[in-house]
Chain A
């Protein structure tokens, strides 16, 4: 029998959603027993975002955040949006023509990891038990099928599944309510959505992969608060867009977001990003500068049309684990936080009135909130891009977001899951990416090095294949095993040996982005939690 502990509320994942839930719960009732479990070695270690923060939810949660020392140091001073062409800066879209949703007046350039570190401290000061270094591996159910709590993974198990000298059995955490806030493609969230059929009647969920680097640049070229966005070159066979944010300490965050509904199996989001940095728009800042961090994370971007029901008996699923990101703004932090605050309010009110139902209470709170209004208003943004392409989709979005204020009379749908979009190699010519120059562009391994990623080597592989023959079978013949290209950390390799091709999984390099779980055309790879503390150690991402 595993040991167990009892709590009023257990929260899985210390991202903005989970931490906002914890803080709101303690604000509403200081006597509640609340704990937050986080798989990273510390709060913030696994957080990777842009990020431009819209402070709306934070203003509501902790109105005196400034006095409390929240790390919002850089207000956005300038917004520029570009349509890139190869080799030239191309067109800057005049500020007046931007969709309202892409303007950032009143927002801040932040490190979301650091905001989460700070939120974690605020939660602890309110009496929340925050436990970093514990990966939640399993959902526990009552006999009636409702959620009973969760269990952390065992530690000290060898690759072959044997108990090592350091073996420590996982713990059960039982709670009246369990809140799942694992972020994009949570491995438990995925099971819950399936088990409780939460996505019934929704469009297929859509995803993107975001790859990001942090650079220390020449102070002379640094303009704190300058925010650049855009699309165009180098992405030709996928939709997506780039960002470059000037934060504090003479650092810039540069990244590329690639929609995972691309069709060409030769496409490599990682290499698209590397070659992008050679464009004069980026080069002007990065030339001679030092790259100090690297990482990647998937983004849930189906929005309103794909948003599952967020409650089930005994539990809620919130933030990007459910899919509360606003694609029109490319922002998910304020919405994730708001969803957590609503979850806390629902739990609090159901505890006060046991006759009421969590499902209905949450649904009512959600319906009356700005979160609902915001997500509903941007519901056509991504499907329009998918349906009409970047140009006409952009025009559509301009009209809808500016002239109609998101209130168009109809809804567009895109119901093909991203993995099913992948076409076979015979329909494409191979994409030849330029070799990295070691100054602006780099290979995968030297990049992963900068993510401070580590996993205890002797443990079961946390990337589980349902069928071991697929990677060297149909995935190889039909798609030239695309995992070699979409994984931003070089985890997957096809190695030619005497006995033919072999599929190698370098699991210790995994940065927990979840792309393989999403994009494998055979849906054969399942990401499960490795031993707690394993994964990246992002400093300021």
Chain B
């Protein structure tokens, strides 16, 4: 069985995001970038399936700039067998990513595609669903448990108010939620070995996809700074302030 996992390069979750002074975008210059946490969970799940003898090949795919090689190498160090980079400069919109992944699915014929449910930079939560629609394959999103038996995959999904388990025929698309697993640390010898694992580069053009821009970024603004609290001296004053200043009652 072959598994394809998606890997996105995003701003590290420890870094406080700052908006450029001209409000054109967030400022990413010299900030620490990392593998999107949900993608890391996807990689971990694929490797566990391989270690359990269920999968025999794990391919990591990223759509992004040349620098995304760094995150693909991380995936290789964690245990993926090979990697593919769809190299593109500029913003990658979900639909373009989904189209590129659909082409790679056609080339590689994986039995299972595991993606993060969303990336922590733009929080779109769209690629998995779009890919399922484009390829006409079943989807199990927000997975907190994945198990495979007899050519189908059972996915326990985190939904409002509980869990729902769906059984999908493969090839299928799964997107990961936070509780699916706890990713491992990469080990030094594996990081060295990862440098020698195959990493192929392709482009939208080579895949026959014409990326289209559907979204225009007008302006990015930081959330308003929180006002400091104040002390009121009596209940009456509190009510008065809630009425006249906060206008909530």
On A, residues with C-beta under 8 Å from B are: 3, 5, 41-42, 44-45, 111, 113-114, 117, 129, 131, 134, 152, 155-156, 165-166, 168, 171, 173, 216, 249-250, 290, 292, 438, 449-450, 452-454, 537, 539-540
Closest 5 pairs between A and B when the two form their complex, measured CB to CB: A454-B14, A168-B185, A155-B185, A537-B32, A452-B15
B187 in the interface (beta carbon within 8 A): yes
Please, how many angstroms separate the alpha-carbon atoms of A166 and B29 in the complex? 32
Output the least CB separation between A5 and chain B (Å): 6
B16 CB contacts on chain A under 8 angstroms? 449-450, 452
The contact of B15 among A3, A173, A537, by CB within 8 Å, is: A537
Please, how many angstroms separate the alpha-carbon atoms of A171 and B187 in the complex? 8
Residue contact A113 to B185, C-beta cutoff 8 Å: no
Using known A-B contacts A41-B12, A292-B18, A454-B14, determine if residue A539 contacts B185 with beta carbons closer than 8 Å: no
A540 CB contacts on chain B under 8 angstroms? 29-30
How many B residues have CB within 8 A of the partner chain?
Answer: 21
B170 in the interface (beta carbon within 8 A): no
* Chain B 1-30 interface mask (CB, 8 Å, partner A; 1/0): 000000000001011101001000000011
B207 in the interface (beta carbon within 8 A): no
Please, how many angstroms separate the alpha-carbon atoms of A216 and B222 in the complex? 15
A249 CB contacts on chain B under 8 angstroms? 29
Please, how many angstroms separate the alpha-carbon atoms of A450 and B34 in the complex? 19
Using known A-B contacts A117-B30, A171-B187, A539-B30, determine if residue A452 contacts B182 with beta carbons closer than 8 Å: no
B124 in the interface (beta carbon within 8 A): no
Residue contact B191 to A165, C-beta cutoff 8 Å: no
A45 CB contacts on chain B under 8 angstroms? 32
Using known A-B contacts A131-B191, A537-B14, determine if residue A250 contacts B21 with beta carbons closer than 8 Å: yes
On B, residues with C-beta under 8 Å from A are: 12, 14-16, 18, 21, 29-32, 34, 182-185, 187-189, 191-192, 228
Residue contact A42 to B21, C-beta cutoff 8 Å: no
Please, how many angstroms separate the alpha-carbon atoms of A450 and B14 in the complex? 10
Q: List 26 A-B contacts (CB under 8 A).
A: A3-B187, A3-B189, A41-B12, A42-B32, A117-B30, A129-B192, A131-B191, A152-B188, A156-B185, A166-B183, A166-B185, A171-B187, A171-B188, A173-B188, A290-B21, A292-B18, A450-B16, A452-B12, A452-B15, A452-B32, A453-B14, A454-B14, A537-B31, A539-B15, A539-B29, A539-B31
Residue contact B192 to A44, C-beta cutoff 8 Å: no
A168 CB contacts on chain B under 8 angstroms? 184-185, 187
Output the least CB separation between B19 and chain A (Å): 10
Please, how many angstroms separate the alpha-carbon atoms of A111 and B31 in the complex? 13
Output the least CB separation between B104 and chain A (Å): 28
Output the least CB separation between B165 and chain A (Å): 23
Residue contact A166 to B184, C-beta cutoff 8 Å: yes
Please, how many angstroms separate the alpha-carbon atoms of A155 and B189 in the complex? 15
Residue contact A44 to B30, C-beta cutoff 8 Å: yes
Chain B residue at minimum C-beta to C-beta distance from A536: B14
Output the least CB separation between B158 and chain A (Å): 20
Residue contact A134 to B32, C-beta cutoff 8 Å: no
A290 CB contacts on chain B under 8 angstroms? 21
A155 CB contacts on chain B under 8 angstroms? 185
A216 CB contacts on chain B under 8 angstroms? 21
Output the least CB separation between A532 and chain B (Å): 8
Please, how many angstroms separate the alpha-carbon atoms of A430 and B182 in the complex? 49
Please, how many angstroms separate the alpha-carbon atoms of A155 and B15 in the complex? 21
Most chain A C-beta atoms within 10 Å of own C-beta, residue among B34, B184, B185? B185
Chain A residue at minimum C-beta to C-beta distance from B225: A438
A450 CB contacts on chain B under 8 angstroms? 16
Please, how many angstroms separate the alpha-carbon atoms of A281 and B175 in the complex? 55
Please, how many angstroms separate the alpha-carbon atoms of A45 and B189 in the complex? 23
Most chain A C-beta atoms within 10 Å of own C-beta, residue among B21, B29, B191? B21
Please, how many angstroms separate the alpha-carbon atoms of A292 and B26 in the complex? 13
B21 CB contacts on chain A under 8 angstroms? 216, 250, 290
Output the least CB separation between A450 and chain B (Å): 7
Output the least CB separation between B24 and chain A (Å): 14
B228 CB contacts on chain A under 8 angstroms? 438
A41 CB contacts on chain B under 8 angstroms? 12, 14, 32, 34
Residue contact B182 to A165, C-beta cutoff 8 Å: yes
A131 CB contacts on chain B under 8 angstroms? 188, 191
A171 CB contacts on chain B under 8 angstroms? 187-189
